[in-house]
Structure 1
Amino acid sequence: MASNVISVNDQVRIDGHGLGIVTEIVYRGFTTSYMVRLVDSNFEVELERERLTIVPTDEMNAMSERPRSRFNIVSDSDVDAFNHEQSSSKKFFEEPEINENREIFEIPENELSSLLCRFLVSVRKQNGDEYEPSVLRGMISSFDRQLRRKGYEQTIALGPGFAKVRETLSMKQRQLKKDGRGNLPKKSEPLSDKDIDHLWNSDQLGTRTPDTILQTLWLYNTIHFGLRSCQEHRDMCWGDISLMADDNGHEYLQFSERQTKTRSGENPRDVRVIKPKMWANVVNHDRCPIAVYKLYAEKRPMNYSEFDHPFYIATTTIHLPSPRDTWFKRNPVGINKLGSMMKRMVQHSGLNSSKRLTNHSARKYLVQKLNDSNIPPNQIMQISGHKNIASINNYSHINQNQHRQISDILHSNVKENNPANPIPYPCSNSAQLNHNTAHVNTDSRSNLHVSGGFQSIFSAPIHGGTFHVHVHQNDSKLNQNSGHKRARYIDSDSD
């Protein structure tokens, strides 16, 4: 009878499927776990005894005698199954009320159009609430992509057979907007500098505990590298971030991007031209990302910093471990923990609960901060990873100070109480006009030296009068265009 005691170098089966070799027995108080290296990889994971089954020696020998190959044998059906699994397509029509078990691309056009119309009118969330208008449009776009991938005769977006679907979608969106949907009341707000200072001062960021190290690295990676969802953080490996130095010896971290929402890997050339970098904070060493990264590398388990090892790994159960204790375990962080990073920090820090802060708030902070600092959108895209420059406008808006200044300008009492010194509105245009001459009537003349863009002229109160603006050019330029042109008169509709 085979023994149930697991020893180092034993070959085990994980959850009845994968194979591994036990490399270490870990004792944690009254519990015992096992470090298992997966077969044909350098990846190790810490598992409980209940998940492991010892593989008999004769079975393992028979498996080892099989010839190894660089390629697994797959059929055309395996390829189709793989593509179908990766295509995020869901069988939305399997509900008992519809009772449609066919794939969407197997349904004839006339039947599919009717089903999609019924779907748009009736679909609800699990709690019975209506979806947002943009979510419905995203669902239809997902169906359309699946149909195009399968070579369907018509597309939902343009096909004449789906005209009723497009009309139903438009009417449904109009009804939802009338009911108050589409305003995104649960839309996350960007972090502010004060919010981040509060997280540092409340010990939610820093190097005090293993959890604060992970939270700090998560925030820095989101802000400086433009990572999106928790899945992108989850997929990160230790080798994706490299510690480097520039020509002046200044250290920085460089990020090599993997698969993302906008760069799925289908096009090998569709990669970031510029790899995002994060330099050391020489002004405030306590908040230096390089120092946090080095401490994290030091506290990781031995031999668990290979290129393909997970970047975020689980923390020890000890809240305040000593320098001699183990700070991290050989397990990747759970996706639920990564998905609630900001929520957990807000709860433990006592941050303003009326402000809706989520993981996405850190990414919004990145775009909003750079936009407020007048960084051009094409440069912001190289950090945030956006492919469309118009997407930057969805993240960046006027900040609270700019909004307050606009409100003060629009208040009539600003001009009445202090007409000589109104509140100037900051302009992002860096153009300067140094030779603008303004003539007020015939008895008053003054020179206006305008900077910050042409719109800055209107940042001061104007009380009547006629302005004549003269644009002076060099004589050489005037001589180049000395030809006579016919005068053209244009009627105006203005008063």
Structure 2
Amino acid sequence: MSDSDLKLDDGQDIFLSQVLDEIESMQEDDIVLSQALDLFENKESFDLSDSQFKNLVEDCTSADFFGSFTLKLPTGENCELLGVDTHCENRFGKITKTEDFDALIKDQKSGNTERSTKWATSVFEAWRSVRKLDGEEIPPLEECDINTHLSRFVVEARKQDGSPYPPGSLYNIACGLLRNLRSSGIYDKNFLDETNARYARFREVLDAQMKKLTKDGLGIGQREAKPVNEEDEKILWSKGVFGNSSSVALQHTMYFYNCKFFGLRALDEHRTLNCNQFAIGSDENGRYIEFKGTNSKTYNGGLKHRRIEPKIIRHYDENSGIVDFYEQYLNALGLSGPFYRRPLNKSEGHLRYGEQVVGINKLKTFMKDICSSAGLEGRYTNHSGKKTCATTLYQGGIPEEEIMKRTGHRSTTGVRKYQKPSPAMLKEISNTLNPPQTTIKAQCGTVNEKNAESVLKDTDESVDNKRSDPSFKGLFSGNHSFSGCTFQF
């Protein structure tokens, strides 16, 4: 390739490989790739004899058919030429080792997922132990035959009280065992992959067992977390559970409305909240509290989520004054640091919070404590918060797409589990499906007010006629005993 081959007209493109192929053989002064391309972009032609472009790369004589090259890092004069700090060795992090990778991966795993994996593994190991007592040696999970041993396991698995697991729990156990294999570096045994014919037998057994359990009534009508409805919310305010009368009340207020406004999920998203994720402002629509999410179950910024936008929600307050409560709380925290910290007693009328972060066990009970303090009846858990968000929007007629933006769900299937109809909606549905009232009343012989008097009159006359009958009079005179009789009225 000659110099003239690299001359460009306006609007003409050139591939990076075209540049690198020609300059690979140059072995004089060094230049970094970004510098070469910046200069090349502004030149009418690419002059390979220019000393600035010499030796961008080092030729590797031991390369394979396609060749390879090693870019030289900017050092010394090149750093100054690029206008960066001459101490380039400070640019990168410390040297890492294999154990650092393991710690990094472990730190980014969900705590709930880890606990679920350990639980599934413990059930499998308990099954192995019982079978060993029966004189049978079951291989460890990493060595067992999936289609034989694991198929037996999902059929024989039982709770500690001896009752079968519901179908959903059985599937979760299978998922946990699969995660266990992957954490052990075994990636070629994806027995839940429907395209993997190697483990089709196991999936058939698991599917059949789950259907059988469902047919037996297991897993149907499971207890669910109850959302907080509008009437419940009014009670929470009226009884002082919400408000700014104390540091605890204000913190509980923030917790609940973080759930309701921003659809925060149970414990995971609350535990890592930071003050810098919230901002108070105003625009043409009024005052608002803005929340910027970081990582969650549905968005963690990893490879699978690289095309997913993080949650950024701006919640406007027209006249409720809730933004003022957020402002008071954030100011009490000093506008920085963890969002949930230990409440302190008031000092000179000011709400205060310590530096100690609210413990995970205490945070787990927030929703239960909030509702029990107000005397609300029902099963309230941390999931009640997110369910309140989805249910309130659903009952308000908000489009499902907008509900998903608040809750963070990526599938309609997921968000619909959180959407619950109100009693009024259920009544309206029932009334819509009920048969015509005139028809059903006619078939059942329903008595209206007009003919009710006629029925009673006929009954009274019948009784009066019976009274004149001697046998009827004798029935109610003296003492009589009855045995083995059937009375019809």
Name the TM-score, length of structure 1 as normaliser: 0.60
Instruction: Please list every run of at least 4 consecutive aligned residues from structure 1 whose deviation after the TM superposition is greater than 6 angstroms.
Output: 98-103
Asked whether the 8 Å contact 1:281–1:289 carries over to 2, the reply is: no
**2:169 alignment counterpart:** 135
**1:311 alignment counterpart:** 339
Asked whether the 8 Å contact 1:272–1:382 carries over to 2, the reply is: no
Match of 2:101 among 57, 60, 79: 79
How many residues matched? 335
- State the identity %: 27
Distance 1:209 1:103 in 2: 55
- Whether 2:319 is the aligned partner of 1:292: answer no
Q: 1:72: how far off?
A: 4.0
Distance 1:416 1:234 in 2: 59
Q: 1:359: how far off?
A: 2.0
Distance 2:226 2:160 in 1: 25
Distance 1:193 1:326 in 2: 27
AA in 1 matched with 2:374: S
Match of 1:168 among 183, 193, 205: 205
Distance 1:327 1:362, change over 3 A: same
Alignment of 1:95-114 (within 5 A): 95=126, 96-97=129-130, 104=141, 106-107=142-143, 110=145, 112-114=146-148
Which structure: larger Rg? 2
Distance 1:290 1:128, change over 3 A: farther
- Whether 2:390 is the aligned partner of 1:361: answer no
Distance 2:318 2:352 in 1: 25
- Whether 2:183 is the aligned partner of 1:155: answer no
Q: 1:223: how far off?
A: 0.9
**1:237 alignment counterpart:** 274
**1:226 alignment counterpart:** 263
1:111-130 deviations in whole A, cap 9, x for unaligned? Answer: x4444234323444556654
Match of 2:405 among 382, 398, 402: 382
Distance 1:195 1:86, change over 3 A: same
Distance 1:117 1:386, change over 3 A: same
Distance 1:397 1:298, change over 3 A: closer
Q: 1:394: how far off?
A: 2.0
Q: 1:406: how far off?
A: 2.6
Match of 1:370 among 393, 412, 415: 393
Distance 1:68 1:98 in 2: 58
Asked whether the 8 Å contact 1:125–1:131 carries over to 2, the reply is: yes
Distance 1:413 1:339, change over 3 A: same
1:258-314 deviations in whole A, cap 9, x for unaligned? Answer: 1111112213634436611222241x3xxx2211112213333xxx532xx101111
Distance 1:242 1:313 in 2: 18
Mean Cα displacement is larger for which, 272-281 or 254-263? 272-281
**1:333 alignment counterpart:** 358
1:240-264 deviations in whole A, cap 9, x for unaligned? Answer: 111122245x221111111111112
Structure 1 unpaired stretches of 5+: 1-66, 419-495
Which secondary structure does the structure 2 equivalent of 1:121 belong to? helix
Structure 2 unpaired stretches of 5+: 1-88, 442-489
Which secondary structure does the structure 1 equivalent of 2:411 belong to? coil
1:404-431 deviations in whole A, cap 9, x for unaligned? Answer: 123234444645699xxxxxxxxxxxxx
Distance 1:404 1:205 in 2: 31
Distance 1:147 1:341, change over 3 A: same
Distance 2:314 2:261 in 1: 7
Distance 1:273 1:260 in 2: 9
AA in 1 matched with 2:290: Q
Alignment of 1:10-29 (within 5 A): none
Distance 1:83 1:148 in 2: 13
Q: 1:237: how far off?
A: 0.7
Which secondary structure does the structure 2 equivalent of 1:390 belong to? helix
- Aligned residues: CA RMSD: 3.3
Q: 1:146: how far off?
A: 5.5
Asked whether the 8 Å contact 2:365–2:382 carries over to 1, the reply is: yes
Distance 1:388 1:74 in 2: 38
- Whether 2:245 is the aligned partner of 1:208: answer yes
Q: 1:151: how far off?
A: 5.6
1:209-231 deviations in whole A, cap 9, x for unaligned? Answer: 11111111011111111100212
